[in-house]
A and B are shown apart, each in its own frame.
Chain A
Amino acid sequence: MFKTALRNVLAHKARLLMTVLAVMLGVAFVSGTLVFTDTLKSAFKNQSAKSYDNVAVAAESFGSRDDDKQDPGIGKQTVRKIEALDGVTSVNGRVDGFAGVADKKGKLIGQGWANKGGNFSPGKDGKDPAYTFTNGTGPVLDAQIALDEDTADKGGYKVGDRIRVATNGPVKTYTLSGVFTTEDGGVNAGGSLVLFDTKVAQQLYLKPGFFQKVNVSAKPGTDAQKLLDQVLPLLPEHATARTGQALAAQEADDIEKGLSALSQTLLAFAAIALFVGIFLISNTFTMLVAQRTKELALMRAVGASRAQVRRSVLTEALVVGTVASAVGFGLGLGLAVGLRSAMDSFGVKLPAGSLIVSSTPVIAALAVGVLVTLIAALLPAWRAAKIPPVAAMNSVHAAATTKSLVVRNTIGAIIALGGFGAILAGAGAGRDGKTMIGFGAFLALVGIIILIPLLSRPVIGVMRPLLTRAFGVSGKLASQNAVRNPRRTGATASALAIGLTLVTALSVLGITVGKAVDKTTTDNIKADYMVAMASGDRLDKSVVPELRKAPGVVAASPKQASYLKLDGDYRSVAGVTPGDVEKVLNVETVSGSLATLGQGQLAVDDETAKKHGWKPGSRLPAEFDDKKKASLTVGAVFKKQEFLAPVLAATSLLDPHESRPHIESVFVKMSGGATKANEQALVNALGDNPAISFMDQQDIRDTFGGMINTLLNIMYGLLAMALLIAVLGVINTLAMSVFERQQEIGMLRAIGLDRSRVKRMIRLEAVVISVFGAVIGTGLGTFLAWAIGETIKGSIPAYALVVPWDRIALFLALAGLVGVLAAMWPARSAARLNMLTAIKTE
């Protein structure tokens, strides 16, 4: 039997090509993901192990510079005491925080959140073990800094250059003393790192004489655990310490967790791709079995049992699956290498390390590939076994009975209805309906896949008159050919529909959320600019008066995050400038007057007011941040506003009680609106600080919109593999159709259908099948997006479902294009068909 199976596989090489390709791509995706994440894991682990190589014990303080009652970090005395311990060779203190480097045009290098500053902490030999200088030396003077190599390159800076660096205070100019490389993960991920002299860094980030972290190195052979026991009692209350080994293990564990999330996401998409592949494979085996009906019946007639026939088909699948998986695995290795260099080219520097191929990916890839092929071949094998021996004598193979379609449609309808019911129930349940919708979506998809052969007739029937009118006889024949084998058309369209359901649902949701955010911004902000630190840190107190001095500024109000204990509960309060706040933000007064803010009164939003029965004139017992008590009056009630806290107070009321007010952003209204000149005026007013971002309304919208777009693009990219396999499925189906209808095509050619119209007929058939799949997919996707939208509606203000018709039209058009491309090869072979051989009867 095995020999027969092998011979069959070899005989149908060409027809199995697409099947092999589909399995190959799926397996490549799986094994590529596994090998890539394994390799990354090992490289990251090596890196973190290396960075703790010299660290026996590491101490960290969680003190704050805002806290006046205790030391903000680990002090010099403590460091000296640790240095004096037995076995300790050196102690390195570290402080770090935000530091933005301006390029020669004054713009910030890199993204705000990834711009770090730290201290250069040389040992007795004058070297800091964490940094390797490729040029110059470490900073030892107040006015010196060192830069990581990449940032120096990006800014075009050389040792000796004068560089403007912004920290959370004003911008200062330093001289570049050296350029270094480091194992620091943040720098490797594309961030920037500025090193200051330790004293300067302490002044900037903590307090002179104090460190946030202390790394202790010891003589070889020292017991780190014992050393830790000695260090712990020396530390202040708010600090803790661990051995370097424990830290490295912890870091490795974190990396492992982070990467397994990545690998699980990738594997989920690989699973979708493989699932889609099942339809293609199943189609192929169904056709192979149909073509061999007589042969199989003959085997049955001469004594082969049903089980043997079934086994012979499954053996074929096994051979195909194994070969495809093996090739796919090789491809996966290439993919892993490719992913790495792709990430490199996007500026994400991954730690070096050789490709790690463990046994898990090998086994997983082969198992997945073989299993998927076998599962797909199960149904065809079962059908093959049902062929009666008498079929060997009949000239025509009995068509699939209508009974099985009736059963199939009934089952499909029940599952689909159940699915839609669950989705609707989930949508109705609001916030808690997500699981229900997920379950319903799965059922609906399965139901529709089962029902798709039935759906193909009416849906394609709608397209027929259109095609006939536009393309004449080719269009008419194409639309009829498309429904000749509803099962096959259905399976082909299903593959495309699955991918497009996901793509459409994600698009609709993404665009809807994006629009909602857009609307929230335009609805709530009147200001022309929002000024904030690029790092997301607080702005310096001096920023508000400086901005107000800038030419053209009409109004400026900070949004200062603060807390007040009001009527017994801590409440988040926004500190604003009375009189200006309503000019820069859309604050709608419900009762009272916002002008009372200027008299030291409070404004509360309507929801909070209603909940507690507060109204203008209510007097509330209050406690400030510094525990000082007061009695405050509610002066106004305003409509809840997304950009403000539920309670508003004048900054002048809050500031006396706070050592360092937390100014998140400053909203500025200018005469003439957002113009280049106005923006420049603001930039100048703040001393040309590269660390401060000036965003107009469009920029604010773009930050959110950009994020959504990036996410959508990543999803599109990941789903591309599933779509690619679906396209292979269309090619496969068309090739089968052309092969099966040779005689028909030959007859059409004989009675006068020219080559170009034969091609057009095949192309249109592909387009019809693809568009059919796309219609189902986009329809279901939109429905799903609506349902999911219903559950998240509550947490997104200004939510309104946006159906991106343009994008859906684009998907349908792309599906059509996919059809045209997929039909290229089958159409050409149909047009080239030898008429005479085609017409000739057997």
Chain B
Amino acid sequence: MTTIPTAHRATAVAARATELSKVYGAGETQVVALDRVTVDFRQGEFTAIMGPSGSGKSTLMHCVAGLDSFSSGSVRIGETELGSLKDKQLTQLRRDKIGFIFQAFNLLPTLTAAENITLPMDIAGRKPNKQWLDQVIDMVGLSGRLSHRPTQLSGGQQQRVAVARALASQPEIIFGDEPTGNLDSRSGAEVLGFLRNSVRELGQTVVMVTHDPVAASYADRVIFLADGRVVDEMLHPSADGVLDRMKEFDAKGRTS
């Protein structure tokens, strides 16, 4: 079991967005998706990003994860500044330092579960760390299904493969885009449990976009976005607490 000293946790930052803005279009039709957002994602922390539709939560994640370009500001993953990177370097950064879990279309149907898990390392041409791999597979409980193809797995099992894939390459940070959006509540709880365990037990850093307060309650910290700005933050959230906060936004949204 790896425990990271609290002091260290507080200082080491896995990813940081500074004054990050993303603007679509120009003139009359201009839409500001992100408006000078500054946020840190600390190492070994499980962060949830929440907000109503159109708040910019997905855009923030995409920009920080190197999936999307931004208009101004800066994004750092570890020591690397993303703004100056070309597509090829960004791809390499995603490959080597970032893990992804999407809502759907996470797996390649032609590959077995095991092959899907090691895909990022195959792409990088690296040999997976056998011991670590076994540990991860064990944790998500897939030992018996490694030779199955995605079509032979349930939705929850598929998402567990995706979690294992994200963890297997030991990335600096894992991003999840509504990872439980397509799952029933039991499978969702399982997947969230694995993500939390990976943070607690393996010291992984996880950032997850969600609109589900229950999902958010698994995180160490919740960041609330509205109209492209960070409007609030909650530490050690509970599902009810998050729900109340969200209701507030909704009410505000309606009155303003």
Query: Is the pairing of A and B real?
Result: yes
Interface positions of A (Cβ within 8 A of B): 472-473, 476-477, 480-481, 484, 743-744, 746-757, 835-836, 839, 841
Q: Provide a sorted-by-A list of 28 A–B residue pairs whose CB atoms are within 8 angstroms.
A: A473-B122, A476-B122, A480-B110, A481-B110, A743-B105, A744-B105, A744-B108, A747-B102, A747-B106, A747-B108, A748-B123, A750-B67, A750-B100, A751-B95, A751-B99, A752-B92, A752-B95, A752-B96, A752-B120, A752-B124, A753-B91, A836-B62, A836-B67, A839-B105, A839-B177, A841-B105, A841-B181, A841-B182
Is the pair A754, B125 in contact by a Cβ cutoff of 8 Å? no
Q: Are B123 and A752 in contact (CB under 8 A)?
A: yes
Shortest C-beta distance, A398 to chain B (Å), equals 13
Query: Bound complex: CA of A655 vs CA of B36, how far in Å?
Result: 113
- List residues of chain A with CB within 8 A of the CB of B111: 477, 480
B68 touches A836 (CB 8 A): yes
Identity of the chain A residue whose Cβ is nearest the Cβ of B104 in the assembled complex? A841
* Contact, CB under 8 Å: A752 / B91: yes
Asked if residues A751 and B88 are in contact (CB atoms below 8 Å), the reply is no
- Residues of the A chain whose Cβ atoms lie less than 8 Å from the Cβ of B177: 839
Is B119 engaged at the interface, CB distance under 8 Å to the other chain? yes
A473-B119, A757-B123 in contact; A839/B108 too (CB < 8 A)?
Answer: no
In the complex, what distance in Å separates the CA atom of A480 from the CA atom of B150?
Answer: 14
Kindly report which residue of chain A lies nearest to residue B165, judged by CB atoms: A751
- Interface 1/0 per residue, B112-147 and A, CB below 8 Å: 000000011011110000000000000000000000
A755 to B89, CA, bound (A): 11
Contact assessment for B120 and A754 in the assembled complex, using a CB-CB cutoff below 8 Å = no
Nearest-Cβ distance from residue B41 to partner chain A, whole angstroms: 18
Q: B68, B92, B182: which contacts A754 (Cβ < 8 A)?
A: B92
Which residues in B have their C-beta under 8 angstroms from that of A754?
87-88, 91-92, 95
Q: How far is the CA of A473 from the CA of B110 in the complex (A)?
A: 12
Distance A751 CA – B106 CA, assembled complex (angstroms): 10
Q: How many angstroms from the CA of A746 to the CA of B88 in the assembled complex? A: 15
Contact at A477–B124, with CB atoms within 8 Å? Answer: no
The answer to whether the Cβ of B197 comes within 8 Å of any Cβ in the partner chain is no
B89 to chain A: closest residue by CB: A754
Specify the chain B residue showing the minimal Cβ separation from A482: B110
C-alpha spacing A484/B110, complex, angstroms: 8
CB of A310, distance to nearest CB on chain B (Å) = 30
- B contact residues around A753 at 8 Å (CB): 91, 95, 123
Q: Write the nearest CB–CB distance from A461 to chain B, whole angstroms.
A: 13
**Given A472-B125, A473-B123, A835-B67, A751 contacting B110 (CB threshold 8 A):** no
Of B88, B99, B122, which contacts A472 at CB under 8 A? B122
Complex Cα distance, B125 from A749, in Å, reads: 16
A744: chain B residues at CB < 8 Å are: 105, 108-109
- What distance in Å separates the Cβ of B188 from its nearest Cβ neighbour in chain A? 16
Contact A839 B88 (CB under 8 A): no
Interface check B103, CB cutoff 8 A: yes
Q: How far is B100's CA from A835's CA once the two chains are assembled, in angstroms?
A: 13
Contact A839 B102 (CB under 8 A): yes
Question: Which of A473, A748, A751, A754 neighbours the largest number of chain B CB atoms within 10 Å of its CB?
Answer: A751
Task: Determine if A477 and B104 form an interchain contact, defined as CB atoms under 8 angstroms apart.
Answer: no
- Nearest CB of B to A817, in Å: 26
Residue of A nearest to B93 (CB): A752
Across the A-B interface, give the 6 residue pairs with the lowest CB-CB distance, nearest first.
Answer: A752-B95, A480-B110, A743-B105, A754-B91, A473-B122, A752-B94
Interface of A, secondary structure class, is helix
| Contact indicator A751/B68 (Cβ below 8 Å) | no
**What A residues does B124 contact at CB under 8 A?**
752
Please name all residues of chain B whose beta carbon is closer than 8 Å to the beta carbon of A755 when the two chains form the complex. Answer: 87-88, 91
Nearest B residue to A834, CB-CB: B68
Contacts of A839 in B (CB 8 A): 102, 105, 177
Q: How far is the CB of A837 from chain B (nearest CB, A)?
A: 11
User: 5 new A-B pairs (CB below 8 Å) besides A748-B123, A750-B102, A751-B119?
Assistant: A751-B99, A751-B123, A755-B87, A841-B104, A841-B105
Which B residues are CB-close (under 8 A) to A477? 108, 110-111
Are B100 and A751 in touch, CB under 8 angstroms?
yes
Instruction: Please pick, from A472, A476, A749, A841, the residue contacting B91 in the complex, using a CB distance under 8 A.
Output: A749
**CB neighbours of B120 from chain A (8 A):** 751-752
- In this complex, what residue of B is CB-closest to A474? B123
Chain A residues within 8 Å of B67, by CB: 750, 835-836
Kindly list chain B residues whose C-beta atoms are within 8 Å of the C-beta of A836. Answer: 62, 67-68
Q: Tell me the bound Cα distance from A97 to B73 in angstroms.
A: 94
In the bound complex, CA of A744 to CA of B67 (Å): 15
Q: Which residues of B contact A757 (CB under 8 A)?
A: 123
Q: Could you say which residues of chain B place their CB within 8 Å of the CB of A484?
A: 109-110
A753 CA / B106 CA spacing, docked (Å): 14
B122 contacts which chain A residues (CB < 8 A)? 472-473, 476
Selected from A472, A743, A751, the residue in CB contact (under 8 A) with B94 is: A751
Interface centre among A477, A746, A756, A757 (most CB of B within 10 A): A477
**B window 59-98: CB within 8 A of A:** 62, 67-68, 87-88, 91-92, 94-96
Closest chain A CB from B119 CB (angstroms):
7
User: Bound complex: CA of A480 vs CA of B62, how far in Å?
Assistant: 30
Q: Which residue on chain B has the smallest CB distance to residue A476?
A: B122
Q: In the bound complex, how far is the Cα of B91 from the Cα of A836, in angstroms?
A: 14
Complex alpha-carbon distance, A473 and B121, angstroms: 10
Cβ of A746: which chain B residues have Cβ within 8 Å of it? Answer: 105
Q: How far is the CA of A757 from the CA of B92 in the complex (A)?
A: 12
A-facing mask of B241-253, CB < 8 A → 1, else 0?
Answer: 0000000000000
- Per the bound structure, the CA–CA distance linking A462 and B9 in Å amounts to 51
A293 to B215 CA separation, bound complex (whole angstroms): 35
Residues of A within 8 A of B181 (CB): 841
How many angstroms from the CA of A472 to the CA of B184 in the assembled complex?
36
Find chain B residues with CB under 8 A from A752 CB. Answer: 91-92, 94-96, 120, 123-124
Q: Which residue on chain B has the smallest CB distance to residue A396?
A: B151
Instruction: Say how far A753's CB is from chain B's closest CB, in angstroms.
Output: 5
User: A750 to chain B: closest CB distance in Å?
Assistant: 5
Closest-by-CB residue of A relative to B122 is A473
A-side contacts of B100, CB under 8 Å: 747, 750-751
Verify A747–B105 contact, CB threshold 8 A: yes
Query: Which of chain B's residues have a CB closer than 8 A to the CB of A748?
Result: 108, 123
Docked CA distance A754–B91 (Å) = 6
The 0/1 profile, CB within 8 Å of A marked 1, for residues 154-187 of chain B is 0000000000010000000000010001100000
Cβ distance A343 to chain B, nearest Cβ, rounded Å: 51
* A751, B92: Cα distance in complex, Å: 9
Q: A842 CB to closest chain B CB, in angstroms? A: 9
A476 to B110, CA, bound (A): 10
CB contacts (< 8 Å) of B106 on chain A: these are 747
Q: How far is the CA of A836 from the CA of B103 in the complex (A)?
A: 12
A841 touches B94 (CB 8 A): no
Chain B residues with CB below 8 A from A481, complex form:
110
For the complex, give the distance between the alpha carbons of A754 and B93 in Å: 11
Compute how far the CA of A756 lies from the CA of B88 in the bound complex, rounded to whole angstroms: 9
B169-227 with Cβ < 8 A to chain A: 177, 181-182
CB-based nearest B residue for A831: B87
Residues of A within 8 A of B105 (CB): 743-744, 746-747, 839, 841
In the complex the two chains form, what is the Cα distance from A480 to B112 in whole Å? Answer: 11
Docked CA distance A477–B88 (Å):
20
Q: Which residues of A lie under 8 Å from residue B125 when comparing CB positions?
A: 472
B22 CB to nearest chain A CB (Å) = 12
Write out the residue numbers on chain A whose beta carbons fall within 8 Å of the beta carbon of B88. Answer: 754-756
Q: How far is the CA of A841 from the CA of B122 in the complex (A)?
A: 26
A105 to B62, CA, bound (A): 80
Residue of A nearest to B96 (CB): A752
Report how far A836 CA is from B68 CA in the complex, Å. 7
Q: How far is the CB of A771 from chain B (nearest CB, A)?
A: 19
Q: How far is the CA of A756 from the CA of B92 in the complex (A)?
A: 12
Which residues of chain B have C-beta atoms less than 8 A from A473's C-beta?
A: 119, 122-123
A485: min CB distance to chain B, Å = 11
B103's nearest neighbour on chain A, judged by CB, is: A841
Most central of B92, B99, B122 by chain A CB within 10 Å: B122
User: In whole Å, how far is A3's beta carbon from the nearest beta carbon of chain B?
Assistant: 34
Residue of B nearest to A756 (CB): B88
Q: How far is the CA of A756 from the CA of B62 in the complex (A)?
A: 22
